[in-house]
Amino acid sequence: MDDIAKNSGYSKATLYVYFKSKEILTSYLVLQSMQTLYDFIYKALHENNTCKERFFGICNSLYEYKKLYHCTSH
């Protein structure tokens, strides 16, 4: 929580007002990330008509998500 507080600009006490534990904060962040990725993919599926366009739309969405959120693979 110390690192998160430092990087977010909020105090540790403020973080604990909204998130009662590190686990709850982590769960929240994971769910937010999953929702954002879902939104990217959903948009790609509904903006394209053919199977090929949808496939490339999803690939592009994954690429843009990774670029936007600085995802790294380890």
Does 55 fall in a domain? yes
User: Is 45 domain-assigned?
Assistant: yes
Predicted model pTM: 0.70
Q: Is residue 6 part of a domain?
A: no
C-alpha 63/C-alpha 26 separation (Å) is 24
Q: What is the pLDDT of residue 72?
A: 64
**Do 54 and 45 form a contact (C-beta atoms < 8 A)?**
yes
Number of domains comprising the chain? 1
Is there a domain that residue 9 lies in?
no
Full domain range(s) for residue 71: 21-74
Work out the pLDDT band at 71, boundaries 50, 70, 90: low
Region 13-31: mean pLDDT is: 93
pLDDT of residue 69: 83
Under DSSP, the state recorded for 48 is -
